[in-house]
Structure 1
């Protein structure tokens, strides 16, 4: 089985908490992640929007674009509005050979609102979830028809956060909307990562290997503290520096035949947790568990020829 290892630039620059950002260029971010061993990088705010500009930067760094976040509002807005907003991103991602667009639902979400505590996350009733899942399926099918599949990101503070909510979303949606499995977000929400893989492996097309610091997560006052408070306190980190058993997680994905990207997305303070150092820790741990699970990790970055 083959696997590819990527990173998210959120370790260097945080889009929601600017104070948790290192003042490094895109080129330096790519250089550091590639020197640690990673061959892919998801899109961040310092990436150019023109493929003619982005491709030479990726080529020079020997890194491929392995995904990127789209802030969707399907829960509240018409599909047409989301189609209009995502269309340029689809064309960009096709032009640079990205595997998928990460769909993050921001409608009603509190994930970017530091003044709103975790306990006040939005919740959908059963009928609302059915309708939302149906519309997300249609949106995912439309994006795939344009030549770029989505990967649905369950997320803290959003309408699909908990394992129960994820199960309901998956039950009412169809194959047209694949799943991004994020170990850190699911564990933060109190879910069982291995059970979620068992239940939904057939739809997983992208994986975020985000770790958590259990003592931080368990110490939160969810009636008073927000998701961004948790990030600032260090709730997330890279594999090998946190509390999750990535040996078991990666093995379970291998058992179900998952092949594709494993992306380290670990937002934390780069001054306390230098990104290059953390990238090396994450890569070392992932290579250890990948080898144990029988994966062959691809070492080529930017496609040749």
Structure 2
């Protein structure tokens, strides 16, 4: 089985917490990711939405676009409006040869609100989740028909956060799934059971690790998602508490082939992005070899 390794620029520049950003250019970010061994990068706020401008930089460092976040508002919004909102990113991603757009539901989410405690996250009734699942399914079908599928990101502080919420959403929709071990562990879910239950729909993987002591020490009635990030709740594989050897073996056993993307927002001063990228890449190479994966580059050639 073959897999590719990518990374997200959130380790270098945090979109929600400007103070957690390394003052480096896009070119330097791509250079460091390449030095660490990655052949893909998800997009971020410093990426131009134009392959004529971005393409030469990607080629210089042997990196391709392996995904990128879209802040969806479909929960409370109109599907035609959301089609218009995603259209430019979709056109750009098709030109870039990206595998998918990462759909994150931000309607009612408190993930970017420093003053909103984790315990105040939005919750849907079963009827609301069923209606939302139908809308998301229609939207996902439309995106795929345009030539750029979405992959749904369950996320802390959003309407689909917990394992139970994910189970209900998956039962009420046909949407492809982005599996994020770190977010599910933070939410108190059983990451191995989620893989077992939903592997057939997983089309993209984020290899986010957590620092268990930080997560368990949070006061969810007073501290927010951004407070947790500032405290160091997230990190790269090999630096945290999750068993990525077991996680990757479970994913491999279900036949998944595709991108594994390191996405770990944390303080770049305390955790220099290049050092963390190297650590995450090394750990993934180790566990993926043990799971039977051949890690290949963006163009499909074997990574040495």
Whole-angstrom CA distance in 2 between matches of 1:58 and 1:88: 19
2:123 aligns with: 123
SS of equivalent to 1:103: strand
Residue 251 of structure 1 is matched in structure 2 by 249
Aligned-pair Cα RMSD in Å: 1.0
Deviations 1:253-302 (A, max 9, x none): 00000000000000000000000000011011000000000000003569
Q: Does 1:84 align with 2:84?
A: yes
Structure 1 partner of 2:264: 266
Superposition TM-score, scaled by structure 1 size: 0.98
CA distance in structure 1 between the partners assigned to 2:123 and 2:96 by the alignment: 37
Alpha-carbon contact 2:121-2:158 (below 8 Å) kept = yes
Mapped partners of 1:9, 1:43: distance in 2: 7
CA 1:169 to 1:300, structure 2 compared with 1: closer, same or farther past 3 Å? closer
SS at match of 1:5: strand
Give the conservation status (yes or no) of the 8 Å contact 1:180–1:205: yes
Q: 1:108 to 1:287 in 2, by over 3 A?
A: same
Structure 2 CA distance for aligned equivalents of residues 22 and 143 of structure 1: 34
State the match for 2:150 in structure 1.
150
- 1:47 to 2:47 alignment: yes
Deviation by residue 1:185-212 (Cα, 9 ceiling, x = unmatched): 0000000011000000000000000000
> In the alignment, which residue of structure 1 is the partner of 2:106?
106
Is the partner of 2:4 in helix, strand or coil?
strand
Could you tell me which residue of structure 2 aligns to residue 135 of structure 1?
A: 135
Structure 2 CA distance, aligned partners of 1:163 and 1:118? Answer: 16
1:165-185 CA deviation, whole Å, 9 max, x = no partner? 0000000101xx200000000
More deviation, 233-242/44-53: 44-53
Counterparts of 1:50 and 1:292, CA distance in 2: 38
Structure 2 runs not aligned, ≥5 long: none
TM-superposed deviation, 1:162: 0.1
Unaligned runs of 5+ in 1: none
Query: 155, 178, 193: which is aligned to 1:180?
Result: 178
For these two proteins, the number of residue pairs brought into alignment is 301
CA distance in 2, matches of 1:71, 1:280: 29
What TM-score results when the alignment is normalised by the length of structure 2? 0.98
Distance 2:142 2:298 in 1: 31
**SS state at 1:135 partner:** helix
Contact 2:208 2:237 in 1 (8 A): yes
Q: Is the 8 A contact 2:8 2:263 kept in 1?
A: yes
CA deviation digits over 1:225-273, x for unaligned, max 9?
A: 0000000000000000000000000000000000000000000000000
Conservation of the 8 A alpha-carbon contact between 1:39 and 1:302: no
Runs (4+) of structure 1 exceeding 3 A deviation are 299-303
Matched, 1:229 2:214: no
1:151-170 paired onto structure 2 within 5 Å: 151-170=151-170
Partner of 1:201: 199
Q: Conserved in 1, the CA contact under 8 Å of 2:64 and 2:298?
A: no
Q: Is the 8 A contact 1:43 1:68 kept in 2?
A: yes
Does residue 1:8 correspond to 2:30, yes or no? no
